[in-house]
Amino acid sequence: MQIIAHRGASGEYPENTLLAFKQALAQKADAIELDVFAVEGELIVIHDARLERTTNGKGSIYQYTLAELASIDAGRGQAIPTLWQVLQLIQNKCWLNIELKGANTLQPLLRLLDRAENELGFDLQTLLVSSFNHPLLAALKTAKPTVRIGALTASLPLHYAAFAAELNAEAVHCDAGFIDEKMVADAKKRGLKVYVYTVDNAEALQQMRTLGVDGVFSNYPAQSRQFLGL
């Protein structure tokens, strides 16, 4: 079972910052998950559209220019990174799950992926793009069919497999509270991977492994690996 660092090693370091991503790599996470919004056509890595919870800024990210956002403290002196900076840091060292938050992220992502492939030799196969916004994922798959898609859901709807198929997704990403043996078996039968968020405690990690899920999003990648004897 793979460990995906949720917003980086966000349990110990400021979430969605270069520091949290560096630590996720140091802690040998198999993958990093991060959240992106688009401002002035550039993807920035932050979970909320508002600044208050994770930074010393106030208000909506859209009230600010990119330059202004770059001067905001996202914790321990860390800036809000651009996705480009994160791609430069990761350099295919682990796989990456980009979660699209803003509805205006499609074109910026397409531009960035082209640039990353050309300038960094970024391997598209190391990327899985997810979103709660399924029409956005469908549009992405149409625009760039080689992008791998994860169908993200906060629940487990009856038609989960239908929307995964419609999106040509290779994985379903579900909240831990909705996962059971039957669902995992059904997903496997359909050739879908199952990634579960957010799982940090020893008992829940063992349970997910027993159920046969492919990976869990964890805020404490090193500790989760330790709990699993990895």
Pick one of 99, 102, 160, 204: the residue that binds ligand G3P (CB under 6 A).
99
Which residue stretch of 31-39, 106-114, 142-150, 160-168 sits at the interface with Mg ion (rule: CB under 5 A)? 31-39
**Alpha carbon distance 166, 169 (integer Å):** 8
- Residue whose tokens read 């199952």: 194
Among this protein's residues, is 134 annotated catalytic? Answer: no
Q: For residue 213, give the nearest of 202, 229, 225, 197 by alpha carbon.
A: 197
What backbone phi and psi angles, to 5 degrees, belong to 68?
Answer: -65, -45
Query: Does 33 interact with ligand G3P (rule: CB under 6 A)?
Result: yes
Identified binder of ligand G3P from the candidate list 9, 31, 35, 148, rule CB under 6 A:
35
Separation of alpha carbons 3 and 171, rounded Å:
15
| Shortest Å distance, C-beta 203 to Mg ion | 23
Q: Are 45 and 35 in contact (CB under 8 A)?
A: yes
Q: How far is the CB of 119 from ligand G3P (least distance, A)?
A: 27
The residue from 13, 37, 86, 99 that contacts Mg ion (CB under 5 A) is 99
Token pair listed for 187: 């997903």
Catalytic positions are 6, 47
Residue ranges in contact with ligand G3P by CB under 6 A: 6, 33, 35, 47, 99, 130, 152, 173, 197, 217
